[in-house]
Amino acid sequence: MALLLKRVAVVTLPLLVSGCVSADGGFEPQFGFDRVSQETTAKLGKETVWIQDRNASGHVRSRVRSLVQNKTISADTAVQVALLNNRGLQAAYAEVGIATSDLWQEGLGVNPRIGITASRLGVARTIEGVISANIVSLITRERRLDAAAAKVAEAQLGSVEKTLAVAAEARTAWIEAASAWEQVAYLNRAKASADAAAELASKLGGTGAMTKADQAREQVLYAELTGRTAEARLAARLAKERLVRVMGVYGQELDFEVPNTLPNLPRNVRTRNDIEAEALRNRVDLRLAKIELEALATSYGLTKATRYVSDLELGAGLEVEQEITENEDGSTSKKDVTSGIVELAFEIPIFDSGQARLRKAEFGYMRAANLLAEKAVNVRSEARSAYQAYRSSYDIARHYRSSVLPLRKLIEDEGLLTYNGMITNTFDLLTDTRERINSTTQSLNAKRAFWLAEAGLTSAIYGGGETPSGSGAMVADAGGDE
Amino acid sequence: MVSRRAFVGAGAALAGVAAWSKTSAMSLPDAPIMEDASTQPPLAPSAGPDYNPVVTPNGWTLPFRMNNGWKEFHLIAEPVEREMGEGMTAYLWGYNGQSPGPTIECVEGDKVRIFVTNRLPEHTTIHWHGMLLPCGMDGVGGLTQPHIKSGKTFVYEFVMQKSGTFMYHPHADEMLQMAMGMMGSFVVHPKDPTFMPVDRDFVFLLSAYDIDPGTYVPRVMEMTDFNMWTMNTRVFPNIDPLPIGLNERARVRVGNLTMTNHPIHMHGYDFSVTCTDGGWVRPEARWPEVTIDIPVGAMRAFEFDAHVPGDWALHCHKSHHTMNAMGHDVPTFIGVDKTSVAKKIRQLQPDYMPMGTKGMADMGEMSMPIPDNTIPMMTGWGQFGPLEMGGMFTVVKVREDLAKGDYSDPGEYEHPPGTVAYEWTGELPMAAKAPDAPVKTGSLEQKSATPAKASDHSGH
């Protein structure tokens, strides 16, 4: 983790609509941003810009340049540059700007501000998390239950997810690239051993001590390894290009390096027994979907939430209903949930549908509520999966490092001794070396799997992973229905 | 170095008592145990007819006691740790603490009673190889006697009908037990002390083991590819020499319990085989030799008069048998320039040393780390340099000033001045030429062994 933690940084970004709308309703694009910039400078001695004009663009460009040019960048730097510089992200922010402008036209002011924190593990784990938390609280606070606000929310959703996704993608791409270069380095070592064997074989051929077939056997190994190394190098270059795209850099900014090695495994891993609760609390897509459900209810005219049920209860309730048809038991009893479950439960507002103007609206609402419940269930599972992957990949990577590699080392060391004793030959020695390198490569794969799982943990808790949210469509439907 | 171990195990003690009650009220004879792999002094007879005792290089002789006219010995078959050479110990099975077991000596006409206690995990027997005795004493498990189970003691009783050189070894699970080192020499002296007398009488057994470098236990299933070729389960450079006084008559008795023949060659002297395990060879049937082939499962005794002093090598002439553990899959690197290869390999294996490009003699000089419990393939140093030997190799040391009965190593031979091969530093004589031979500028140095055309052929 050391590489990722080089810098304790709090970068406050003018995400989406900062300063677009002032509190008194005047449209001052730079207002919010100035505030952000001041805060950032005070905390970091660093500046950030929301790219709204040429000047700001130049600013970002030079800042990005100073972060990457002629440097070997850390994963945190990669994420930070991506957040600063990814044009797709800027486009998403602009979407929100447009929506907010519309909202402003409606005379409704919002003044959201987003802080990005890249800090030490354990304090505030990730940049991504803090962004999402802030956005969500902002949206919650500034919810406007009309079409313009829904559009804002939709755009906000898009930009939030985009932000998280970009951050996750940058981190993943960085891991893939560093890992790929590490693989290349080890394959090069394996190739060197095959190269030595091939050369020795051809020299033995020259003195008349080795058959053509045996020479060819050594040489084909070298040739194959050369192919594999070239493949690995290509993979590494492509991985770096993927990182370049996420970071949105080009031209002279391309002059940066990714480390040739992934950070070592941490000494231990965090135990996260509350991973489900944490995900339910923090998943941006889930919370936004909930807001949208409430917006949907409003659009159907269901104004008053009469109660809240958890996703657990909702699921149970559905089961009971199914049993009713078979067992003639019409009573639906509402069970109190224990505090432990409350901690774990995701509450879904149930609006009193008695006042529903349309039967259709009620069905529409229940459909959305169940989709939300499904999502909550999935989020729990994703959180558990991510944690399982994190824990197990750590154990696996450690196993390779502390069990497999020492054994390979021992084999190689003993191989050298038997070689010294004229008991085995140079080729045996080189084979042992190659096998150790193969095991090392497996160990590197395991290490990469761990760091990817570590990054996946963030996505599982905060969102922005590869799971599509799909709740945006819901809002659009609701809007159309109105 | 003989120690006396108390009997342990009620089974053994009871079995002993049961066997003993038939013959005597006395207890079992002591079973001395040897803990040392060095040559023990010959054991002069404490009772009975006199004889000139044999010396067992890196071995010892089993003491006996007389009991109502019977010579009584006690062998204990048991697991042993045998030092095959410095830095290499084998976990074997043997007798009374060592492999090979102690040499048993007696005299033609002796009544011999041998107690055999089995402390192995499986049954055993002892076959008295080459001796004519009552069939029930021949020691073939199942055929001529019940097996000696673990913890039991059996008694063999027979009268020595002829003198000569014999062996003893198990005849129960024989393949495994012999591969584990169970064997010993058995010398029967002539009743007439004036028959075939010698001043020095040596006896050793040839045995072979397949002990993977870095391990301790022989691979008992191996039939051909052994890596420890031993004399008395000992390898060069740790086989004790055979010291002989100048002008003494010496006899060397060699038995072969490996699975291949061994042409035993002694430098310098010619000699005659005077005895096999079948008996003495009549003088008119002998002929002079410098190498005698010892067949599998046979013994040969050869004699010579040591009238020329010096350090005379005595070894098996199969050159792989004068090597220690080696790999048979190591390619021939002669003439291969490993310089650039070595550079590449050192990047991965910093301790890599290229070897064998000029030959393998560098192995004898370099002492690189090798696996635990392994003796280098070629090793040993003499006064002029590395000997580059191993396995079945020892030295007959003939010295003028050697006291009778002194079997300690007299050290390196001091060659009289002018009697050692020396380097010529003067002009070399011109080679004889035919009158019309074309003139060639010759170089004494052999060109590279690399066939220059090898690479040219590759394009064909």
pLDDT of residue A355: 52
Of B214, B345, B360, the CB nearest to A422: B360
Query: Which tens digits make up the pLDDT trace of A313-331?
Result: 544 333 322 222 233 344 4
Q: Report how far residue B65's alpha carbon sits from residue B29's, in angstroms, rounded to the nearest whole number.
A: 7
Inter-residue contact B309 to B400 (CB < 8 Å):
yes
Six-digit token string for B391 = 């396995």
pLDDT of residue B154: 97
Helix, strand, coil percentages for chain A (3-state, nearest 5): 70, 5, 25
Q: What mean pLDDT is predicted for residues B307-316?
A: 98
Q: Which of residues 249-278 of B touch A (CB under 8 A)?
A: none
Q: How far is CA B1 from CA B52, B100, B186, in A?
A: 21, 16, 21
Q: How far is CA A127 from CA A77, A79, A166, A293, in A?
A: 11, 8, 11, 27
Residue type, A171: R
SS3 (DSSP) at B107: strand
Q: Which ranges constitute the DSSP H helices of B354-407?
A: 361-365
Q: How far does chain B reach from its first CA to its final CA, in angstroms? A: 71
SS3 (DSSP) at A305: strand
Q: Which residue has the tokens 């029930």?
A: B136
Inter-residue contact B181 to B82 (CB < 8 Å):
yes
Inter-residue contact B296 to B321 (CB < 8 Å):
no
Beta carbons of B338 and A416 less than 8 Å apart: no
Residues in chain A within 8 Å Cβ distance of B213: 418, 421, 423
How many other C-beta atoms are found inside a 10 Å radius of the C-beta of residue B328?
8
The CA distance from A164 to the nearest CA of chain B, in Å, is 43
The count of CB pairs under 8 A between chains A and B is 116
Q: Report how far residue A140's alpha carbon sits from residue A149's, in angstroms, rounded to the nearest whole number.
A: 11
Q: Is the pLDDT of residue A134 over 70?
A: no
Query: Which tens digits make up the pLDDT trace of B94-132?
Result: 999 999 999 999 999 999 999 999 999 999 999 999 999
Q: Is the pLDDT of residue A226 over 50?
A: yes
Instruction: Supply the Cα-derived Rg of chain B in whole angstroms.
Output: 26
Query: Which tens digits make up the pLDDT trace of B339-348?
Result: 889 998 888 8
Beta carbons of A203 and B214 less than 8 Å apart: no
- Give the nearest chain B residue to A199 (CA atoms): B341
Backbone torsion region of residue B411, taken as left when φ is above 0, otherwise alpha when ψ lies between -120 and 50, otherwise beta: left
Confidence of residue A157 (pLDDT cuts 50, 70, 90): low
Q: Is B193 on the interface with A (CB under 8 A)?
A: no
pLDDT of residue A76: 85
Residue type, A454: E
- Give the nearest chain B residue to A206 (CA atoms): B454
Confidence of residue B14 (pLDDT cuts 50, 70, 90): very low
Q: Report how far residue B209's alpha carbon sits from residue B313's, in angstroms, rounded to the nearest whole number.
A: 23
Residues in chain B within 8 Å Cβ distance of A207: 332-336, 449-451, 454
pLDDT of residue A69: 85
Q: Which ranges constitute the DSSP H helices of A8-144?
A: 31-44, 54-68, 75-85, 87-105, 127-141
pTM of the model: 0.75
**Alpha-carbon dihedral angle through residues A166, A233, A444, A120, given to the nearest 10 degrees:** -30
Which residues lie closer than 8 Å to B294 by C-beta, 6 or more apart?
A: B206, B254, B255, B256, B261, B262, B263, B264, B300
Beta carbons of A204 and B213 less than 8 Å apart: no
Residues in chain B within 8 Å Cβ distance of A422: 326-327, 330, 355-356, 360, 363, 377
How many other C-beta atoms are found inside a 10 Å radius of the C-beta of residue A394?
22
Confidence of residue B365 (pLDDT cuts 50, 70, 90): confident
Q: Report how far residue B72's alpha carbon sits from residue B113's, in angstroms, rounded to the nearest whole number.
A: 5
Six-digit token string for B27 = 């207890």
Inter-residue contact A401 to A443 (CB < 8 Å):
yes
Q: Is A429 on the interface with B (CB under 8 A)?
A: yes
pLDDT of residue A216: 94
Q: Report how far residue A86's alpha carbon sits from residue A81's, in angstroms, rounded to the nearest whole number.
A: 8
Q: Is A199 on the interface with B (CB under 8 A)?
A: yes
In the DSSP assignment, the letter for residue A262 is P
Give the closest residue to B276 by CA, choosing from B249, B250, B255.
B255
Q: Report how far residue A291's alpha carbon sits from residue A285's, in angstroms, rounded to the nearest whole number.
A: 10
Residues in chain A within 8 Å Cβ distance of B370: 417-418, 420-421, 423
- Give the nearest chain A residue to B358 (CA atoms): A207
Characterize the bridge pairing of strands B65-67 and B153-159. unpaired
**Beta-bridge partners for B206:** B231, B256
pLDDT of residue A95: 75
Residues in chain B within 8 Å Cβ distance of A433: 348-349
pLDDT of residue A351: 64
Inter-residue contact A348 to A368 (CB < 8 Å):
no
pLDDT of residue A304: 58
Six-digit token string for A376 = 């909550």
Strands (E), A311-378: 347-351
Six-digit token string for B177 = 């037990």
How many other C-beta atoms are found inside a 10 Å radius of the C-beta of residue A231?
13
Q: How far does chain A reach from its first CA to its final CA, in angstroms? A: 51
Beta carbons of B213 and A423 less than 8 Å apart: yes
Residues in chain A within 8 Å Cβ distance of B349: 412, 416, 429, 433
Inter-residue contact B354 to B334 (CB < 8 Å):
no
ipTM above 0.90, yes or no: no
Beta carbons of A417 and B214 less than 8 Å apart: yes
Characterize the bridge pairing of strands B153-159 and B111-118. antiparallel
In the DSSP assignment, the letter for residue A333 is P
Confidence of residue B236 (pLDDT cuts 50, 70, 90): very high
Q: Which ranges constitute the DSSP H helices of A208-305?
A: 212-247, 275-282, 284-299
Beta carbons of B336 and A433 less than 8 Å apart: no
